[in-house]
Structure 1
Amino acid sequence: MTDIDPLDLRFSADELADVRDRIESFIEERLDAAGAERAVLGLSGGVDSTTTAYLAVEALGRENVHGLVMPGEVSDADNMSDAERVAEELGIEYDVFEINPIVEEFLNAVPEAEGEKIAVGNARARTRAVLNYLVANHESGLVLGTGNRTEAAIGYFTKYGDGAVDCHPLGNLYKQQVRQLAADLGAAEELVEKTPTAGLWAGQTDEEEIGMGYDTLDAIIALTVDGQVPPEATADIAETTLANVEHVRDLHARSEHKRHVPPAPESTF
Structure 2
Amino acid sequence: MRKLDYERVTEKLTSFIQEKVDDSKASGVVIGVSGGIDSATTAYLAVKALGKERVLGLIMPYYQNRDIEDARLVCSSLGIEWEEINIKPIVDSFIAQLGFQPDKRSLGNIMARTRMVLLYAHANAKNYLVLGTSNRSEFLTGYFTKWGDGASDYAPLINLYKTEVWEIAKLLGVPERIIEKKPTAGLWEGQSDEEELGISYRLLDEILWRLVDLKMPKDEIAKELEVPIERVEYVDNLVKKSEHKRRLPVGPTF
TM-score using structure 1 length: 0.92
Query: RMSD over aligned Cα, in angstroms?
Result: 1.1
Residue of 165, 174, 189 corresponding to 2:152: 165
Structure 1 residue 69: deviation in Å? 0.3
What residue number does 1:40 align with? 30
Runs (4 or more) in structure 1 with deviation over 3 Å come to none
1:86 aligns with 2:74: yes
- The within-5 A match list for 1:1-269 is 8-9=1-2, 11=4, 15-73=5-63, 77-112=65-100, 114-266=101-253, 268=254
- 1:9 touches 1:177 (CA, 8 Å); kept in 2? no
Moved more, 87-96 or 24-33: 24-33
Measured in 2, the distance between the counterparts of 1:21 and 1:162 equals 25
Contact 2:35 2:70 in 1 (8 A): yes
CA apart distance, 1:189: 1.8
The C-alpha deviation readout for 1:110-167, integer Å capped at 9, x for no partner, is 031x241111110000000000000000000000000100000000000000001001
1:212 aligns to what SS in structure 2? Answer: coil
* Partner SS for 1:40: strand
Give yes or no for contact 1:196–1:206 (8 Å, CA) kept in 2: yes
Aligned partners of 1:10 and 1:177 also within 8 Å: no
| Alpha-carbon contact 1:40-1:143 (below 8 Å) kept | yes
1:68-96 alpha-carbon deviations (Å, 9 max, x no partner): 000003x5x11110101110010000000
Gaps of 5+ in 2: none
Q: Is the Cα contact below 8 Å between 2:30 and 2:122 reproduced in 1?
A: yes
SS in 2 for 1:145: coil
CA displacement, residues 42-70 of structure 1 (integer Å, 9 cap, x when unaligned) = 00111100100000000000000000000
**Percent of matched pairs sharing the same residue:** 46
Q: Give, in whole Å, the separation in 2 of the partners of 1:54 and 1:239.
A: 37
Mapped partners of 1:163, 1:254: distance in 2: 16
Matches of 2:225 and 2:82 in 1, distance apart? Answer: 41
SS in 1 for 2:248: coil
- Preserved CA contact (<8 Å) 2:95 2:102: no
Alignment partner of 2:137: what SS?
helix
The letter for the 2-side match of 1:24 is T
Deviation at residue 265 of structure 1 after TM alignment? 2.2
- Shift in Å at residue 9 of structure 1? 4.3
Question: Unpaired runs of 5+ in structure 1?
Answer: 1-7
Separation (CA, whole Å) in 2 of partners of 1:157 and 1:52: 16
Query: Which residue in the other structure is 1:5 paired with?
Result: none
Q: Deviations over 1:155-206 (max 9, x none)?
A: 0000000001001100110111100000000112221121100111111100
- Answer yes or no: is the 8 Å Cα contact 1:62–1:90 preserved in 2: yes
Give me the TM-score of the superposition, normalised by structure 2. Answer: 0.97
Letter in 1 for 2:7: A
Bigger drift between 255-264 and 176-185 goes to 255-264
| Aligned partners of 1:72 and 1:100 also within 8 Å | yes
Measured in 2, the distance between the counterparts of 1:16 and 1:121 equals 33
